[in-house]
Amino acid sequence: MRDLSQGPVTRQIFVFALPMLVGNIFQQLYTIVDTIIIGQYIGTDAVAAAGASFPVIFVLVSLVIGITTGTNIIISQYYGAKNYEAIKRAIDTAFVFLFFASIALTTLGLIFIEDIWRLIGLPAHLVPDATNYFSVYAAGIILMFGYNATSAILRGLGDSRTPLYFLIISTMLNIGFDLLFVLVFDWGIGGVAFATVLAQGIAFGLSVIYLNRFHTLIRFTLTGLTFDWDIFRKSLRIGIPTGVQTTFVSLGMLALISIVNRFGTNTIAAYTIAWRIDGFAAMPAMNFAMAFTTFVGQNLGADRAERVREGLISTLKMTTSVSLTMTAVAWIFGRQLMAVFTSDPEVIDIGYSYLVIVSSFYVVFSAMFVINGVMRGAGDTIIPMFITLISLWLLRIPAAHFLSGQFGAEGIWWGIPVAWVFGLIAAYTYYRTGRWKQKVVVKKQI
């Protein structure tokens, strides 16, 4: 565990973020390898079906992810305040909530999936593959929640290395299972989903065994868990705005894919592949921002607010450098990156246009994400929620709808940076007010 309220600011953030960054490289390998295998060995239709499924999965889990984020913020503040007993209760509370939430979400997803395909206008010939992929993934939500919650809790405690080790294990298992289930067993797109579920389940089981034996604060058992209503209410107060924000972001992705669906299978496949590459490129900035959020939480919990501004400047410098590098890579090697996933020239051309347009604004995206990290680390999640909702629903979706009518698929891609520019301006304006300092949930015990 790492105490981020002490020591050189830049070094603390960088050292804490580095394992998270390496870990998320492996996390992205999940989707990257999945998409490569689907594109090269199953086909363009299967790529499009998997791409259409992901926004639906994201909608299904987004509210729960947001509420759990609230718990993790509280854990980081309790750790900064050295209140270890409260940390144990918060962890138990998170696991109890996730258990029941996962059962409910799996049930809802399996019941309504056919209605969702009709709602977003998914081409009929893609429905069987999309349903197969989604159903397997939805059945494994409980394992996904357990695995990701354990990693997030450890990061809230300042431990970004242990989650990395289990993520590497999970990624290697996923790649091996992909090859086995698709190339050897010929299970198709359902085999790709099952590979991910099985890999995360094994990694979760191994992490539970490790934590129960060696960790001082985390003990995971199926019995004897304590559900603390007071901590849960605090988690809801912080987490519901983030959950609502994440839910509406996921619904925005669903709305966006419904616009993409109008342009046919090749555009859906191109969007799916380019979005995977885009996610990989944006990942370093997001990880530094996540590390900075924990940094803010611990320092405000330790009553050291003066370190937050220094941390913000340091993090912005790091993310700007990385973002400019990623922009150059996308411009120069975008076509070659698309060709790793598919040999279809039309899909490559469409995807490259996405990469050129969106990557040009990576610096804007990273700055927006980092500045919002200040508010989230303080527990002030309502304003970022409204900023995100306005950016998405009043700017991005209408712009994508209008511009796609004027310029085709490229118009959809331009809607993304339009929202980012507004989001950055609004986040920085609110940060300058300093009101987020009044939202800290816990203070250091004297």
Cα–Cα nearest to 278, from 332, 318, 338: 338
Instruction: Choose the weakest-confidence range: 45-49, 167-171, 366-370, 434-438.
Output: 434-438
Mean pLDDT rounded to a whole number for the chain: 87
404 within domain boundaries: yes
Question: How many whole angstroms separate alpha carbon 378 and alpha carbon 159?
Answer: 19
**Domain range spanning residue 193?**
9-439
Instruction: Count up the domains in the chain and report the number.
Output: 1
Which amino acid, residue 145? Answer: F
pLDDT tens across 410-445, in order?
999 999 999 999 999 999 999 998 888 876 655 554
Q: What percent of the chain has pLDDT over 90?
A: 47
158 in a structural domain: yes
Higher pLDDT, 159 or 259: 259
- Over 80: is that where the pLDDT of 5 sits? no
pLDDT band at 212 (very low <50, low <70, confident <90, very high): confident
pLDDT of res. 149: 83
The answer to whether residue 1 sits within a structural domain is no
Structure confidence by residue, pLDDT tens digits, 215-248: 776 777 767 778 889 988 888 887 887 787 778 8
Higher per-residue confidence, 23 vs 229: 229
Whether 88 is covered by a domain: the verdict is yes
pLDDT, position 446: 44
In-domain check, residue 388: yes
Residue 285: per-residue pLDDT: 83
Q: How many whole angstroms separate alpha carbon 287 and alpha carbon 167?
A: 15
446 inside domain: no
Question: For residues 152 and 160, what is the distance between their CA atoms, to the nearest angstrom?
Answer: 9
Domain annotation covers residue 4? no
Contacts of 71 (CB under 8 A, 6+ apart): 90, 93, 94, 97, 153, 231, 235, 239
Mean pLDDT of 67-72: 77
User: With 90 as the cut, is the pLDDT of residue 110 above it?
Assistant: yes
Express each pLDDT in 303-333 by its tens digit.
788 888 899 999 999 999 999 999 999 999 9
Q: Is residue 39 part of a domain?
A: yes
Contact 371, 312 (CB under 8 A): yes
